[in-house]
């Protein structure tokens, strides 16, 4: 079963006209290393790199700090005698795990991000752009959790092996002496393994009968399932697998909180350290309790700390889900279902109190199709309209089920009362909200990636119909790449309306749009070029002629740079990763070194 996308997961973009594959530009030339290019790279990516470096620095600091905290203090002298260096190697990544588990839920709190985006309207667009990279950061934190989990687990495997061996080995070593502590009344144990079972049975016994061992096994398995089901292949081809296994995060966090409740990591108590110096008494372990200077050492377990790290993000996420649930239960009325060509249909809906901005997206559930699945769709309506709409291409079982439930498979008129119940959560903010913050913008959509820009262009049309004197946006360069002609049909009417509106207001230069057919061969293109001199394009009916092949992005950027020499040009993409890489490089290469020159600011839709 396939996930439906409305410009969803640009990396897994499915277009109206099939998959858009754009090869990256040539590698940067030697000039790419010049100071000007580096400066432009800093302008576009500097804040993101700074955030990542701070995050990596905090991870490195926590690892170093907690490694030293267990490798140096005298409190853990006997713990190190029993476990060796694996003690510090287990505790250092545990601290990093706590820190990253604090962060992992925040990037997926969609309502929180929308609130921050709205409250930061007075801030720089560069700051707001970081919120649009939430899923990228979420994935980076997830991989960091996986790395520290691996280190933590391997270190504890060595710890368990040493504890089990020390418990069953013959007397005469300090490890055996430390393991025997706690067998008599009045003593406290250091070695948490209390039964004398040799390895490997002893290790398995610890793993499946102790709270720390069992919870560790469960959360590790949950993490493996979450990460392996999050690969691009699984997300695109088996979205339900990704969706359901990702909710194992509940099991993961519960296990994480209780993991340390067993207090198996133990150190010498402060009172015991006052009367028993391990650095001197450790050499006379056979005399413990027999001489006044070396009484029996006493130990206590470290209190669990993980809950202190994750309680705030867990509460935030809990309220996030409550808000989603409350909002999704509000009544949604389907006012119109429109069948478009090429297995695409449009839902126009109304919902009390629904307010949106351009380019935002919603999550949709249809109980008649599935009670659990929610799918994201970009809004194609404008804020000025009295309804909100989404365009859906039938690409899998869920979208086909929704299409059939809405009567798209029938020829006769569908009665309103027969339409299915729809639940809607959102809207949520995206990079496209910042379109009106620039005087000049480039909008690039690949296939289905045109949907957020439908909302933008509709809003522009309404603003011009009313009064565009206060509109900061002065110039739009719109590019649409598609494999064949079918996808143009539903969007051409909007472009034609805009084209006519701009001409009526004597501002035809406001919108410059280019439509590219990327899937045609030379013979097909030649057949239509004979009509090139006609007033309107034979495919779209627009005055702007359809182009064939792919844009020469370097020429496009250089042309725009020459026409807007002192502007900040917002570049907005909803499309695949290869195209994103190309446009991002062009933004860097074609931005001026002079702060007063042209600068291209790259923005990409992420869902």
Place 232 in a pLDDT band, splitting at 50, 70 and 90: confident
Tokens 């997300």, located at residue: 235
Sign of the C-alpha dihedral computed for residues 196, 199, 201 and 205 taken in this order: positive
Tokens 């959509």, located at residue: 445
Average pLDDT, the chain: 81
Residue range 510-549, pLDDT digits in tens: 778 788 877 655 555 555 554 455 555 545 555 566 677 7
Alpha-carbon dihedral of residues 84, 90, 92, 98, nearest 10 degrees? -160
Quick check: helix, strand or coil at residue 451? helix
| Reported pTM | 0.77
Quick check: helix, strand or coil at residue 601? strand
Are 200 and 220 in contact by the 8 Å Cβ rule? The answer is no
Q: Of 56-60, 269-273, 412-416, 585-589, give the range with the top mean pLDDT.
A: 56-60
Q: Which residues of 244-276 are buried (b: 16+ CB within 10 A; e: fewer)?
A: ebeebbebbbebbbbbbebebbbbbeeebbeeb
- As to burial, measured by CB atoms within 10 angstroms (0-12 exposed, 13-18 middle, 19+ buried), residue 538 is middle
**pLDDT at position 10:** 32
Arithmetic mean of pLDDT, 486-496: 64
pLDDT of 24 higher than 80: no
Residue range 544-557, pLDDT digits in tens: 666 777 888 988 88
What region, left, alpha or beta, does residue 351 occupy, with left being phi > 0 and alpha being psi -120 to 50 degrees?
Answer: beta
- What the block records as the tokens of 234 is 């699984």
**pLDDT at position 543:** 58
More confident residue, 372 or 350: 350
First to last CA, the chain: 19
Please give the Cα distance from 454 to 16 (Å, whole number).
14
- What the block records as the tokens of 565 is 């020499």
Please give the Cα distance from 275 to 175 (Å, whole number).
21
pLDDT of 28 higher than 60: no
**pLDDT at position 217:** 94
Instruction: Average the pLDDT over each of 1-5, 149-153, 450-454, 462-466 and give the range with the smallest value.
Output: 1-5
pLDDT of 12 higher than 50: no
Place 14 in a pLDDT band, splitting at 50, 70 and 90: very low
**pLDDT at position 93:** 95
Place 67 in a pLDDT band, splitting at 50, 70 and 90: very high
Place 408 in a pLDDT band, splitting at 50, 70 and 90: confident
Place 466 in a pLDDT band, splitting at 50, 70 and 90: confident
H-run or E-run covering 20: none
Place 40 in a pLDDT band, splitting at 50, 70 and 90: low
pLDDT of 30 higher than 70: no
Arithmetic mean of pLDDT, 301-315: 91
Please give the Cα distance from 438 to 209 (Å, whole number).
61
DSSP string, 207-275: HHHSHHHHHHHHHHHHHHHHHHTTSHHHHHH-HHHHHHHHTTHHHHHHHHHHTTTT--SEEE-HHHHHH
Residue range 494-508, pLDDT digits in tens: 677 766 766 776 666
More confident residue, 397 or 362: 362
Task: Indicate the DSSP class of residue 599.
Answer: E
Instruction: Judge if the upstream peptide bond of residue 490 is cis by omega within 30 degrees of 0.
Output: no
What region, left, alpha or beta, does residue 276 occupy, with left being phi > 0 and alpha being psi -120 to 50 degrees?
Answer: beta
Are 569 and 598 in contact by the 8 Å Cβ rule? The answer is yes
pLDDT of 97 higher than 80: yes
**pLDDT at position 145:** 96
pLDDT of 343 higher than 90: no
Which alpha helices (DSSP H) does 481-576 contain, by range?
Answer: 488-504, 522-529, 553-563
- What the block records as the tokens of 208 is 């499946």
Quick check: helix, strand or coil at residue 6? coil
Arithmetic mean of pLDDT, 418-442: 85
pLDDT of 1 higher than 70: no
Instruction: Average the pLDDT over each of 136-150, 226-240, 242-256, 295-309 and give the range with the smallest value.
Output: 226-240
């Amino acid at each position: 079963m396939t996930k439906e996308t409305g410009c969803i997961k640009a990396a897994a973009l499915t277009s109206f006209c099939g998959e858009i594959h754009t090869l990256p530009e040539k590698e940067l030339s030697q000039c790419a290393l010049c100071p000007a290019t580096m400066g432009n790279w800093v302008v576009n990516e500097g804040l993101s790199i700074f955030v990542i470096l701070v995050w990596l620095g905090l991870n490195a600091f926590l690892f170093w700090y907690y490694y030293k905290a267990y490798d140096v203090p005298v409190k853990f002298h006997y713990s190190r005698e029993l476990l060796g260096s694996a003690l510090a190697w287990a505790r250092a990544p545990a601290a990093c795990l706590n820190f990253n588990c604090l962060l992992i839920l925040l990037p997926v709190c969609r309502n929180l991000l929308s609130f921050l985006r709205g409250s930061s309207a007075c801030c720089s667009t560069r700051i707001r752009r970081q919120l649009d990279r939430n899923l990228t950061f979420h994935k980076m934190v997830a991989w960091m959790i996986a790395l520290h989990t691996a280190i933590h687990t391997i270190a504890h495997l060595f710890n368990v092996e040493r504890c089990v061996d020390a418990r069953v080995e013959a007397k005469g070593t300090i490890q055996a002496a430390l393991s025997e502590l706690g067998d008599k009344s009045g003593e406290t144990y250091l070695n948490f393994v209390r039964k004398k079972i040799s390895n490997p049975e002893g290790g398995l016994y610890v793993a499946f009968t102790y709270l720390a061992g069992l919870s560790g096994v469960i959360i590790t398995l949950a993490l493996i399932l979450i990460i392996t089901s999050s690969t691009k292949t699984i997300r695109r081809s088996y979205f339900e697998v990704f969706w359901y296994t990702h909710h194992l995060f509940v099991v993961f966090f519960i296990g994480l909180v209780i993991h340390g409740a067993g207090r198996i990591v133990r150190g010498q108590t402060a009172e015991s350290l006052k009367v028993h110096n391990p650095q001197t008494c450790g050499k006379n372990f056979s005399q413990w309790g027999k001489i006044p200077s070396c009484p029996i050492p006493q130990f206590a377990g470290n209190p669990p700390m993980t809950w202190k790290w994750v309680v705030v993000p867990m509460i935030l996420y809990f309220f996030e889900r409550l808000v989603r649930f409350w909002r999704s239960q509000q009544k949604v009325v389907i006012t119109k279902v429109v069948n478009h060509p090429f297995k695409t249909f449009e839902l126009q809906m109304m919902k009390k109190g629904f307010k949106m901005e351009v380019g935002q997206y919603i999550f949709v559930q249809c109980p008649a199709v599935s009670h659990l699945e929610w799918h994201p769709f970009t809004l194609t309506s404008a804020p000025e309209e009295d309804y909100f709409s989404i365009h859906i291409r039938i690409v899998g079982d869920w979208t086909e089920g929704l299409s059939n439930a809405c009567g798209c498979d029938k020829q006769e008129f569908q009665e309103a009362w027969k339409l299915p119940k729809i639940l809607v959560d959102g809207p949520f903010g995206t990079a496209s909200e910042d379109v009106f913050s620039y005087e000049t913008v480039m909008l690039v959509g690949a296939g289905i990636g045109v949907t957020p820009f439908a909302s933008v262009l509709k809003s522009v049309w309404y603003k011009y119909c009313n009064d565009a004197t206060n509109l900061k946006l002065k110039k739009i360069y719109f590019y649409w790449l598609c494999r064949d002609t079918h996808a143009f049909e539903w969007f051409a009417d909007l472009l034609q309306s805009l084209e006519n509106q701009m001409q009526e207001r004597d501002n035809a230069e406001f919108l410059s749009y280019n439509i590219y057919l990327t899937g045609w061969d030379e013979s097909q293109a030649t057949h239509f070029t004979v009509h090139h001199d006609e007033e309107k394009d034979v495919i779209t009916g627009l005055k702007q002629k359809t182009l064939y092949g792919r844009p020469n992005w370097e020429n496009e950027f250089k042309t725009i740079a020459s026409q807007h020499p002192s502007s900040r040009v917002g570049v907005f993409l909803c499309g695949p990763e290869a195209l994103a890489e190309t446009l991002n490089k062009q933004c860097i290469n074609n931005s001026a070194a002079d702060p007063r020159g042209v600068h291209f600011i790259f923005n990409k839709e992420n869902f």
